[in-house]
């Protein structure tokens, strides 16, 4: 039996190398990042849900220390959580200083994705998977639209089936931390645990896809947290330029935020209509949530107006013709890795070397921010917003890969 498994692993490795030509390398991606994630079985223990700053794995701490020694992590103290659930810094420290650049305090970093290109609307939802996610996914399928889902690791742990639906339907999965804290208030190691465990569970349950994008809860990020996300884990920070405060609506269609949020679903509809009819330069990235049926309806009710206004709707990476994952181009492309992450990193490195001489794409190698001119994304004829360039039929690699996928066995439509 061991011999058979070894033979199958060898075949998988060969087939993986054979599909490298369809992979577009993630910009500025160090293949060593992939080594930080050893494939875990679903039965393995993750941190308890909703515990802020879970203890990171030793490999992640080692990687953080290397980045610190190289001078790539700013020496900044964590911010202080205030009574109104915001943040402040020590007396005399200006959080809006470009050296700190706290988004919460008003600094907009040029390295963050905040705006979509002119005429485009980035479709994304935070805080899933939740019970309301099923209605969102049904609607997205009915209108042939894909979206970015910034998922909380603890919610994935509690609702793996809903996660599998989003993945199978072609959704783009991104990171929204393990417990949804104010990230700048955490220590370096706590930031590491929040990001790392969310990456780990997505990696484990997605057939080995390594996320490339993350959104900080409440938008709370500064240069220290950005640097840990980018330099340790290869994550691009995504913010937004319009906020509906739809998360304020309870399952009973009441408001928990007072004057700051919509009073009910009808008020949310009016706010979405206002955003949809705004000028198209810059493009829109609206903060939306799949928390309740009412927050989901904020999007579904606005959809006819979005279409009528002529917005080009895409998941976040497709706004910039960027790969969806660090090791896979799109929703239906094979992830360039095996169960051995060392082998996978070698395959990714090989792919990058081969593409260096053949790729003529400028956008995939440009800094990801909304000020960089990019060509239109390559869209799938089947699903709006997809950039997958491979057939949706099962390959020999997929058939063999199913033998090794642990827990959730995902098939490609």
C-alpha 17/C-alpha 334 separation (Å) is: 11
pLDDT reported for residue 378? 29
| Cβ-Cβ contacts under 8 Å for 226 (sequence gap 6 or more) | 101, 109, 111, 112, 237
| Cβ-Cβ contacts under 8 Å for 3 (sequence gap 6 or more) | none
pLDDT reported for residue 107? 98
Residues with a known catalytic role:
126, 289
Q: Is-contact 88 80, C-beta < 8 A?
A: yes
Strands 284-287 and 242-243: parallel
- State the Rg of the chain over Cα: 21
pLDDT band at 263 (very low <50, low <70, confident <90, very high): confident
pLDDT band at 131 (very low <50, low <70, confident <90, very high): very high
| Cβ-Cβ contacts under 8 Å for 407 (sequence gap 6 or more) | 41, 42, 43, 160, 204, 205
For residue 201, give the nearest of 165, 175, 235 by alpha carbon.
175
Segment of 49-63, 301-315, 352-366 carrying the highest mean pLDDT: 301-315
Count of Cβ atoms closer than 10 Å to residue 280 Cβ: 17
C-alpha 324/C-alpha 341 separation (Å) is: 19
Domains of the chain: 2-404 (3.20.20.370)
Report percent pLDDT > 90 for the chain. Answer: 62
Predicted TM-score (pTM) above 0.85: no
| Secondary structure of the chain as H, E, C letters | CHHHHHHHHHHHHHHHHHCHHHCCCCCCCCHHHHHHCCCCCCCCCCCCCCCCCCCCCHHHHHHHHHHHHCCCCCCCCCCEECCCCCEECCCCCCCCCCCCCCCCCCCCCCCCECCECCCEEECEEEEECCCCHHHHHHHHHHCCECCEEEECHHHHHHCHHHHHHHHHCCCEEEECCCCCCCHHHCCHHHHHHHHHHHHHHHHHHCCCCCECEECCHHHCCCHHHHHHHHHHHCCEEECCCEECCHHHECCCCCECCHHHCCCCHHHHHHHHHHHHCCCCCCEEEEECECCCHHHHHHHHHHHHHHHHCCCEEECCHHHHCCCCECCECCCCCCCCCCCCHHHHHHHHHHHHHHHHCCCCCCHHHCCCCCCCCCCCCCCCCCCECCCCCCCCCCCHHHHHHHHHCCCCCCCCC
pLDDT reported for residue 235? 94
pLDDT band at 259 (very low <50, low <70, confident <90, very high): confident
For residue 145, give the nearest of 300, 369, 327 by alpha carbon.
300
* Mean pLDDT of the 10-33 span: 39
pLDDT reported for residue 335? 86
For residue 299, give both structure tokens. 């999007």
Q: Note the pLDDT tens digit of each residue in 42-96.
A: 446 899 999 999 999 998 999 999 999 999 999 999 999 999 889 999 999 999 9
| Cβ-Cβ contacts under 8 Å for 2 (sequence gap 6 or more) | none
pLDDT reported for residue 386? 54
Q: Is-contact 319 366, C-beta < 8 A?
A: no
């Amino acid at each position: 039996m061991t011999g058979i498994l070894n033979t199958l692993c060898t075949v998988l490795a060969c087939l993986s190398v054979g599909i490298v030509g369809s992979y577009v390398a993630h910009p500025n991606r160090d293949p060593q990042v992939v080594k930080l994630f050893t494939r875990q079985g679903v039965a393995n223990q993750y941190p308890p849900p909703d515990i802020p700053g879970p203890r990171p794995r030793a490999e992640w701490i080692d990687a953080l220390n290397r980045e610190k020694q190289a001078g790539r992590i700013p020496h900044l103290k964590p911010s202080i959580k205030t009574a109104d659930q915001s943040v402040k810094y020590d007396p005399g420290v200006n959080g809006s200083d470009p050296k700190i650049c706290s988004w919460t305090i008003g600094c907009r970093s040029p390295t963050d994705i905040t705006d979509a290109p002119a005429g485009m609307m980035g479709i994304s939802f935070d805080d899933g998977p939740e019970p309301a996610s099923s209605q969102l996914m049904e609607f997205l399928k009915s209108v042939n639209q894909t979206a970015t889902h910034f998922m909380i690791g603890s919610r994935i742990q509690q609702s793996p089936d809903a996660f599998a639906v989003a993945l199978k339907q072609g959704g783009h999965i991104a990171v929204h931390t393990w417990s949804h804290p104010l990230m700048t208030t955490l220590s370096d190691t706590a930031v590491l645990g929040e990001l790392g465990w969310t990456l780990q569970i997505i990696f484990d349950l997605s057939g080995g896809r390594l996320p490339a994008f993350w959104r900080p809860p409440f938008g709370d990020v500064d240069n220290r947290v950005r640097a840990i996300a980018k330099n340790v884990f290869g994550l691009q920070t995504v913010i937004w330029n319009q906020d509906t405060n739809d998360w304020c609506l309870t399952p009973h269609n009441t408001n928990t935020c007072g004057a700051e949020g919509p009073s009910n679903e009808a008020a949310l509809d009016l706010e979405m209509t206002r955003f949809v009819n705004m000028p198209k330069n810059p493009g829109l990235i609206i903060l939306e949530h799949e928390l309740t049926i009412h927050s989901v309806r904020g999007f579904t009710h606005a959809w006819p107006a979005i279409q009528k206004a002529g917005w080009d709707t895409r998941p976040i990476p497709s706004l910039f013709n960027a790969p969806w994952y660090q090791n896979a181009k799109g929703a239906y492309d094979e992830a360039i890795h095996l169960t051995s992450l060392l082998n996978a990193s070698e395959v990714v490195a090989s792919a990058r070397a081969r593409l260096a001489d053949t790729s003529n794409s400028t956008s995939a190698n440009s800094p990801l921010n909304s000020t960089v001119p990019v060509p239109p994304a390559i869209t799938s004829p089947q699903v709006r917003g997809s950039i997958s360039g491979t057939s949706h039929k099962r390959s020999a690699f997929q058939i063999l890969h199913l033998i090794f996928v642990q827990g959730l066995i995902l098939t490609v439509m």
